[in-house]
Structure formats: C-alpha cells, structure tokens
Structure 1
Amino acid sequence: MAFNLQASIEIAGVDAVMIVFDAKVDKQINQQVHLLREAIIQAQPVWLSDVVAAYHTLMVVYDIQRTTFEHVQHWLKAQLIELQQRQVTPKVAGIHEYFVCYEPEFALDIERVCHCTGLSAEEVSQRHSAETYHVYTIGFAPGFAYLGDVPNALQVARLDTPRTKVPAGSVAIANQQTAIYPRTSPGGWNIIGRVAGWTDRSGLKLQAGDQVRFTSVSKQRFLEIEANSQSNHIEERHDD
C-alpha cells in the first residue's frame, strides 16, 4: 500500500512525541499508524522506550538521557519518508471468529437500537454479523478492542447514562464501532448480544490490526458452547 506522508510530529510530554495523521477513524489511516509502529520497533533505536498506537496517532516515548526531541523528530521524519518511498505490505492479520447470541436477554439495548435505526431485531443481528471488523486499537481496559466499521444503517450513539455493570462477553455498538466487553465492568455502549464461551483470557488474544467476525447462534447453541467452555476451563485449572 502507498504510505501517506501527511502526518505531523508534536511534543506530547518531556519524553514523548505524537505522530498525528488525519483525525478520523479510518482503516487505511490506522494501518499506516501500525506500519510506522512496526518500522520503529524493527529499527530499535537505543533511545526508544515505548511506542503506543491509537486510531490516527502514534506516541513515541524516548529516554531523555540518550537523545533530544529534535533528534527524535528528525529520525521520525526520515522514517516517514522511507515508508513513503517504498511499497509496504501490512502484516497478515490474525482472524478471530466468535459465536454470538443476539437473543433479547443478552441484547440489553436491542429495543433502543431498533427504535433508533428502524431495523428489526433480526435485521440488527444479520447486519452486525455480516461484517468483518478491523481491530483499530486496544484500550479502555485490558483486552477491550475497538472494532470497525459498523454499517451506517446500524450506527447508534452511546447511551446517555452508562450502565454500572455490563456482563463480560457482551457485544456492543457505539456510532461506527463495535466491541466485546472483556470483563464485567461499567459501560455506555449499546449491548446487542453476547459471545458464547467467553473467558477472561479471550480478549487478550486480540491485537491491533487483527480481523474479527461474528456468527449468530441460537440460545440453545449458546448454552451448549458455554457448557463446553466451562468444562474445558475446569480441566485447564486442574492441569495447572
């Protein structure tokens, strides 16, 4: 893919700079963020402390005992130019598939979503599970992956008042993004289903740049997968 040089380098702290691409949620921009991150990590300059990717930004943390902002800025500009001058191929994305039950007892906000979109509950599940989603970034909580893009017809704003408790494995949407709550926690996204067989470790498998697919299953199938998952989890604990 062709690399876009339209990025600015800004001071983000006494020991950090921020590389800022176009300020929007866009898959191609996000891929460029991660390509630059990979290039920086592979180069491994002696002053590098950390590289943190988000939607359209990349924060580079450096050791102020080893370098200066001016040097880091110059080095990063050179990296941007080098990436622009050659065709770069994104790494092969990991693909994760999840079985989701969209039945009302798991889809806590389905009535609201149907009201806002004019879609039926069946249409919501069909449209949501028809897409392959890109993992833009990991944040909010360990394993919380921000996925996109939700079809335009299915986009709904966040809840006005967040819930104090969202069950782990809940599948939710907010505007053009969707996500799986990795653990039971507060949350303000619209809950439209729940992943079968979800465990605390499940979310940790997701990495930025990966792909996610959802398959709709019945409540009966959901319970069967849950039972098998619980049995396997018990066996794993005994093995440990």
Structure 2
Amino acid sequence: MVEHAQSFLVVDDIDVHYGAVQALFNVSLHVQAGEVVGVLGGNASGKSTTLKSVLGLVHPSRGRILFEGKPIQGMAPADVIDLGVASVPEGRRVFPEMSVIDNLMMGAYPRRADKAGVAADLDAVLTAFPRLAERRKQAAGTLSGGEQQLLALGRAWLRRGRLVCIDEPSMGLSPKFVDMVYEVLFQWKAQGQTILLVEQSARIALELADRAYVLQHGHVILQGKAADLAADPAVKKAYLGAA
C-alpha cells in the first residue's frame, strides 16, 4: 500500500495488461487536492495507460485506484465521471457533427439541473476562448486541431470536475495553440484545480506541475517535485533536449 492513502487520488501498485502484453508494472502515484501532477515519458512508456486506468477506460489486473478514498478500479468510465472527474482526452474526441455550443453543453450534462451555474460557466468559456465564440454554431469537426483542443478544454471546464485528467494537450499543436492551452491550464492551477496531466512535452509540463512521475516501459523510474526533476541531468538529457 502506498503511503498516501488519504490523498485525493491514489494509484496503488497497479499492473495493466492488453491481452498477453503487460503495459504497466507496479505503478503507484498520488495526487493531493489542489495539486497539478504530471505523468511524463516517451512513446509507449505507459503514461496514457495510467490515465486511462484512472478514467476506467482500462482496468488494472492488480492493484487499487482510490478517488477520495473510494476504490474505483474496475468501474465504468461513466461512473467515474459521475464521481466528479473530468477528462480532456488525447486527440480531443469532440463530436464532429455537433456544433461547438452543443459540444460544450455535453460537458455540462451532469450539471444540467444547475441552469444558472452552467449559463455563467458557458459565458466564461466563450469569453476565455473568443475563437469558440466566433464559431459557436459551427460543426466541431470543421475546427482546426488547436481549436478542437480549446473546445475539449472548454467542455471539461463546464463539467466542473473536482479532478481533471488531461492526456497530451500539446500533441500536434502549433506553438501558438500550445501557449493558448497552457495559459488556460496555468489559470486553472491558480484557481486551485486538481489536475492529473499526461504530457510528452516534459519542459512545459514541468513548468506547470507541482510534482511529476517519469515512466519508461511501464515502470515509474523517477518521481519528485517538478522543479527538482527539471534540474535532474538524466531528465534533462532524456526529455528536455539537453546535451
């Protein structure tokens, strides 16, 4: 059992298999309320599988996952979301034939009884993302990749999750859109939002995160405060492009 049983989120010594192939080996991590925790690593390191395990998209073959003290391993994704988890998935996963507004409102569906709160948050999202406001009636599938990433963030914003799980937010985006996305994430951090962030771009993730874990071949090989990892020669060489 990991030492942080009272943490907001605990991933405790999990293994995950895809058929006969093992993707995670004894992976443990924890997230405190109000923290931003990064999960870093290269391709096929297991970082996205770790996030999918939290969301119920894959189920560990061993170990536990606790959200606010409640075991959630093996739960269906919809049930995990109902507990107060929001997701910004890899590849955005917008509903391409639905309008921008309808996509945003899908995020607010669990809060549908709170009409005033949803309306206020929708106004806030459209103010923060003028591109989405300009394209509010446009089909989401016609947006650029960067605009779809903003839409996925806005959808999670409307969910008002106590934990937001974000998978590769910078993937495939131009530097301009990466800056826009991370500007929002820094704002969320300042507001005390709890975030579990999977990111291949270690440099910017370590600027945002309070702590981070580095995965390689399904194993946690490094963990610690983000500032310490950013200064670690091994991390610099492997993930930050240092000579």
TM class, shorter-chain normalised? Answer: under 0.3
> How does the TM-score come out when normalised to structure 1?
0.25
| Structure with the larger helix share | 2
The structure that has the greater radius of gyration is 1
Question: Greater relative contact order (Cα 8 A, min sep 6): structure 1 or 2?
Answer: 2
> How does the TM-score come out when normalised to structure 2?
0.25
